[in-house]
Amino acid sequence: DIYDQLTKATHFTKFDFKSGYFQVPLDKADRPKTAFSTRDRHFQFKVLPQGLTNGPPTFQRIVNQILGPNRWKHVLAYID
């Protein structure tokens, strides 16, 4: 589907979602799932960390919501 859409396109651009995951807040109930401990302290992420199994699909879903009805019509989202 993406290749079919790209063959008709004349303009291309990209967004660099540097630190994009770290801008997605986690629900308080889900924070313990990201917990880890060191010798001195115990930590929990307050934002979506990289490396979680459901991190990429969650981030993709947010991008798709942002693009809204323009997705597949005027804009495509590919997250690598």
Asked if residue 60 is part of any domain, the answer here is yes
From 62, 20, 28, select the one nearest 45 (Cα to Cα): 28
pLDDT in tens, 16-56: 888 888 899 999 999 999 999 999 999 999 999 988 888 88
| pTM: predicted TM-score of the whole model, two decimal places | 0.71
Asked if residue 79 is part of any domain, the answer here is no
Asked if residue 76 is part of any domain, the answer here is no
Asked if residue 39 is part of any domain, the answer here is yes
Asked if residue 80 is part of any domain, the answer here is no
- 1: tokens are 């589907």
Q: Which domain holds residue 6?
A: 2-70
Asked if residue 35 is part of any domain, the answer here is yes
Asked if residue 77 is part of any domain, the answer here is no
What DSSP line would sit under 23-65, residue for residue? GSBPPGGGGGGG-EE-SS-EE--SB--TT-TTHHHHHHHHHHH
pLDDT score, position 65: 93
Domain count along the chain: 1
Asked if residue 19 is part of any domain, the answer here is yes
More confident residue, 28 or 8: 28
Strand-pairing partners, residue 75, are 71
Whether 10 shows a pLDDT value over 80: the answer reads yes
3-class SS of residue 10 = coil
